[in-house]
């Protein structure tokens, strides 16, 4: 078998067999197939696409390129959640504890952020001493003892995906449904979950800008999961503005704590209840979504969700005093309101620009080597549909550098569109995709 023949076959619009997909993934992972040939094949896939069978087989080839995690020693149905990412997306810090408190084991492998803001691990490291470094045995023990553990992804988990993604990133081949779906699902399947809930974002702050593309991506991923006997559900959610109000690591953790107290933003709370309800149903702790939502709301009201976050922090070496006293989180040197020069209703907030403004402050990474400033970020005061008076604060900026603060402030002001006519915000939940079909709301 020759890589040349696979490139020509896909270039001409033909299907690759399982054996051919296994050959190119195996060869590229071990280093016998060079970057330039894989780049050519990726470009052929970008233009000619892959069908559902090819996509599923590509995913499993990436799963089998390295270690897979065996979670069979964990009691119960293990349900994982994945978000395609957005601005202010801190759902894991709320969702994990409330789902765990309901008795569904949460064994989650998470990553660090690259771009806009920090990843889940970066946010959790706002707790002094918190560590994701642990053996798989300790990880499993924590889930059995506390019902939740959050670990870092190892280099041996789907290594083919890491190599392919790095190559796609520099060859303009990231934006392909099969390659995106395969990348996400290979890591989820290798991580050992029994069932998967996917939060697929759509809008200005999401990778999938159009709803149609988001539904298509969800369909691809649900098909892959179903194909390998993982009960998989895709929830399409709005990212035309940041989720919640906080953007930045310690700021988002504080907002997560508020949400676990029942005092969080309405949209963030609703998203966590929606995703969590699906996780409880898949985890066989509720017969339907209505019952699951009631269980989760009772967990928040009773303080059990906050207690579970405290247990997670303690189990992974962090200081639980931060949960009870969020003033312990790092504070920046500069805290300044951002004042509107206009009066009217917020029509739009360019979520990407808000994310970039946080990145300028140091809340995210421009490269893998960048050091995140956990204290900096933005807290919005106005969202789409809200009325703004001239001279009123639309946001507060948290910074440690005057020049960065000035640049970020301009970016935030430019991200807001304020009009005279009253605006009605779009619904947060756009629809659900399951193996049985699509439901749009």
Q: Is 187 a catalytic residue?
A: yes
Residues forming a β-bridge with 208: 202
At residue 235, what are phi and psi to the nearest 5 degrees?
Answer: -115, 120
Tokens at 173, concatenated: 């081949």
Q: Under 8 Å CB-to-CB from 311, ≥6 apart: which residues? A: 146, 148
Q: Is 82 a catalytic residue?
A: yes
Q: Is 65 a catalytic residue?
A: no
List 80, 89, 122, 161, catalytic entry: 161
Sign of the Cα torsion 63, 65, 67, 72 reads: positive
Tokens at 81, concatenated: 């959640």
Farthest CA pair distance, the chain: 69
List 183, 186, 340, 408, catalytic entry: 183
List 10, 123, 168, 278, catalytic entry: 168
Scan for tokens 């071990």, then name that residue: 30
Taking the C-alpha atoms of residue 61 and residue 39, their distance in angstroms, rounded to an integer, is 18
Scan for tokens 């924590």, then name that residue: 142
Q: Are 158 and 63 in contact (CB under 8 A)?
A: yes
List 10, 78, 81, 82, catalytic entry: 82
CB atoms within 10 A of CB 51: 10
Q: Are 152 and 121 in contact (CB under 8 A)?
A: yes
List 187, 278, 285, 430, catalytic entry: 187
Taking the C-alpha atoms of residue 142 and residue 146, their distance in angstroms, rounded to an integer, is 6
Sign of the Cα torsion 165, 105, 284, 276 reads: negative
Candidates 141, 80, 409, 398; CA nearest to 249 is: 398
Tell me the catalytic residues.
82, 161, 168, 183, 187
């Amino acid at each position: 078998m020759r890589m040349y023949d696979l490139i020509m076959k896909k270039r001409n619009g033909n299907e690759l067999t399982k054996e051919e997909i296994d050959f190119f993934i195996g060869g590229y992972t071990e280093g016998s197939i060079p970057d330039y040939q894989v780049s050519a094949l990726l470009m052929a896939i970008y233009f000619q696409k892959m069908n559902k069978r090819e996509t599923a087989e590509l995913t499993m080839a990436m799963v089998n390129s390295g270690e897979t995690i065996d979670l069979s020693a964990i009691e119960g149905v293990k349900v994982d959640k994945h978000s395609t990412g957005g601005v202010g997306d801190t759902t894991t810090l709320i969702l994990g504890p409330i789902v765990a408190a309901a008795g569904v084991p949460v064994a989650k492998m998470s990553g660090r952020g690259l771009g806009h803001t920090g990843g889940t691990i970066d946010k959790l490291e706002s707790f002094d001493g918190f560590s994701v470094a642990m053996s798989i045995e300790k990880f499993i023990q924590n889930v059995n003892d506390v019902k939740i553990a959050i670990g870092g992804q190892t280099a041996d988990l789907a290594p083919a995906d890491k190599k392919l993604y790095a190559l796609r990133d520099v060859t303009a081949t990231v934006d392909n449904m099969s390659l995106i779906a395969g990348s996400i699902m290979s890591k989820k399947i290798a991580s050992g979950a029994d069932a998967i809930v996917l939060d697929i974002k759509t809008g200005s702050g999401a990778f999938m800008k159009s709803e149609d593309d988001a539904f298509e991506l969800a369909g691809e991923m649900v098909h892959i999961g179903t194909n390998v006997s993982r009960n998989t559900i895709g929830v399409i959610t709005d990212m035309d503005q940041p989720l919640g109000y906080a953007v930045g690591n310690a700021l988002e953790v504080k907002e997560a704590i508020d949400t676990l107290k029942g005092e969080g933003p309405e949209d963030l709370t609703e998203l966590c209840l929606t995703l969590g309800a699906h996780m409880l149903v898949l985890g066989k702790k509720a017969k339907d979504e209505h019952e699951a939502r009631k269980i989760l709301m009772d967990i928040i009201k009773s303080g059990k969700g906050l207690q579970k976050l405290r247990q997670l922090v303690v189990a992974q070496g962090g200081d639980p005093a931060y949960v009870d006293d969020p003033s312990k989180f790092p504070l920046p040197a500069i805290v300044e309101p951002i004042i509107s020069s206009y009066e009217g209703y917020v029509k739009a907030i360019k979520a990407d620009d808000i994310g970039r403004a946080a990145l300028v402050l140091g809340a995210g990474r421009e490269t893998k080597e960048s050091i995140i400033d956990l204290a900096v970020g933005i807290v919005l005061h106005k969202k789409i549909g809200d009325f703004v008076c001239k001279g009123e604060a639309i946001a507060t900026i948290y910074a440690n550098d005057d020049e960065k603060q000035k640049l970020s402030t301009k970016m935030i002001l430019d991200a807001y569109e304020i009009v005279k006519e009253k605006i009605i915000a779009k619904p947060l939940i756009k629809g659900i995709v399951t193996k049985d079909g699509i439901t749009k709301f």
